[in-house]
Structure 1
């Protein structure tokens, strides 16, 4: 093969990355209306410090096809954003993985994946997640061959999405229970949030439960220059004691989509069973919608287990769309720590 180099993305790469994203979109049959991100948009989201931390990071694969070539050609790109798992903390979510068709089946994808695994090791990420369309057999085979687990197939995780139209509709819902108050979470709330994370894990029958401590939550959501997650809590005054009781929470983080740009992902939403009849979940959901609209995000996504019928009905009610249905449905994949460690030491 001609000289191949895998390196971190740079601002001047944005034009080439945009071209690859369009190539992917056209291959998937996306209309031009859905392929609106420009090189300037990517530069602003990935490199313009004045707008805050980068929404995405990643690597490119470049080839210099001949000694006489003036500059290398970018033939592949892999982008990721930092997600937040209430089980293990910061993790890598691979949102874009493209090798130009002319250069596929030459080991370039493997080299990019190994490079990202090495980064994940260096940053102490214990998981790498991504989604692949079910009909993309070559993509599914590639990632599972390298050790990824298909969580949609093995555990029943479904991908749900609320676009801007659903967000707008959600904001029109009127919640009448004035006794329940919603507010952004504070560091002092993390003890109760951790308790509710464990309650949610027990409900989802996750034997290998959350590993995070109260201090981890406080550090990652409140004490860093740029928080890794955002959270809202629902509270009311206990009828017997008069003390303030936190009865629900949501936890979310900023994500990136190669066609839609900057988005939000809802990692957790939970209401104590005793108070679920008071529409607290709808109030928390509406708070997320306000967060999305206020800061100009392009909708939000979430995941739900296929047996959790009440949650699915709840998301359907508020305009959620199940993106895991049919041959074009999204499959959730994950690389666990042991596989990441192996990939990070390989040099294929």
Structure 2
């Protein structure tokens, strides 16, 4: 079912007005808008979002794809509206091999609790199975109890013993320009 980007990947049977499809290049402006919406939902100012449309186009639709996208839609008799996004990419575990990593899942607040997060997880699981992934992985903020409940129901296992580290671009460049004698 992943053959055609214009057709729905999944349609909700409980909520037939909703469906999930693969992201297309023309979705980039709304994806960027929803990335900012997610930052605000996560209690961050919109200014934390540094990515631009050009980067999203290059990295999701260029020759060297860094991510893949899913688009949840609300479908009525007279229009179809994009109401969120999901981004995932592939990683590799030295213990387990192929991994599908879910970077983001965002659904506009007025459309939550309609099965869309479940549909998006189903699509990620289908892709992971088709790509022979041995694991799916994602993060959730500790205060996002609703999302954590969904992930628990799905069989996700929190890893409290792992701490996430992050290095920003300036620090990367600093270290990339040094040699071991500078350490």
TM (norm. structure 2) is 0.85
Give the Å deviation of 1:234: 1.1
Report the Cα distance in structure 2 between the residues aligned to 1:315 and 1:309, rounded to whole angstroms. Answer: 10
Higher relative contact order (CA 8 A, sep 6+): 1
1:294 paired to 2:130: yes
Secondary structure, in 3 states, of the residue corresponding to 1:278? coil
1:319 paired to 2:149: no
Query: Which residue of structure 1 lines up, in the alignment, with residue 87 of structure 2?
Result: 251
1:330 paired to 2:162: yes
1:281 paired to 2:120: no
Query: Which residue of structure 1 lines up, in the alignment, with residue 37 of structure 2?
Result: 199
Give the Å deviation of 1:339: 2.5
**Shift in CA distance, 191/338, structure 1 to aligned 2, threshold 3 Å:** closer
Give the Å deviation of 1:344: 2.3
**Shift in CA distance, 342/216, structure 1 to aligned 2, threshold 3 Å:** closer
Report the Cα distance in structure 2 between the residues aligned to 1:337 and 1:247, rounded to whole angstroms. Answer: 31
Give the Å deviation of 1:294: 1.3
Report the Cα distance in structure 2 between the residues aligned to 1:262 and 1:277, rounded to whole angstroms. Answer: 31
What does residue range 12-51 of structure 1 map to in structure 2 within 5 Å? none
1:184 paired to 2:22: yes
**Is the Cα contact below 8 Å between 1:249 and 1:284 reproduced in 2?**
no
What does residue range 133-148 of structure 1 map to in structure 2 within 5 Å? none
Query: Which residue of structure 2 lines up, in the alignment, with residue 28 of structure 1?
Result: none
Which ranges of structure 1 fall in alignment gaps of 5 or more residues? 1-173
What does residue range 234-273 of structure 1 map to in structure 2 within 5 Å? 234-238=72-76, 242-273=78-109
Query: Which residue of structure 1 lines up, in the alignment, with residue 55 of structure 2?
Result: 216
**Shift in CA distance, 215/343, structure 1 to aligned 2, threshold 3 Å:** closer
Query: Which residue of structure 2 lines up, in the alignment, with residue 227 of structure 1?
Result: 65
Query: Which residue of structure 2 lines up, in the alignment, with residue 309 of structure 1?
Result: 145
Over alpha carbons, which structure has the higher Rg? Answer: 1
**Is the Cα contact below 8 Å between 2:85 and 2:106 reproduced in 1?**
yes
Report the Cα distance in structure 2 between the residues aligned to 1:202 and 1:178, rounded to whole angstroms. Answer: 29
TM (norm. structure 1) is 0.46
Which ranges of structure 2 fall in alignment gaps of 5 or more residues? 1-11
Report the Cα distance in structure 2 between the residues aligned to 1:344 and 1:234, rounded to whole angstroms. Answer: 39
Give the Å deviation of 1:318: 1.0
Give the Å deviation of 1:182: 1.3
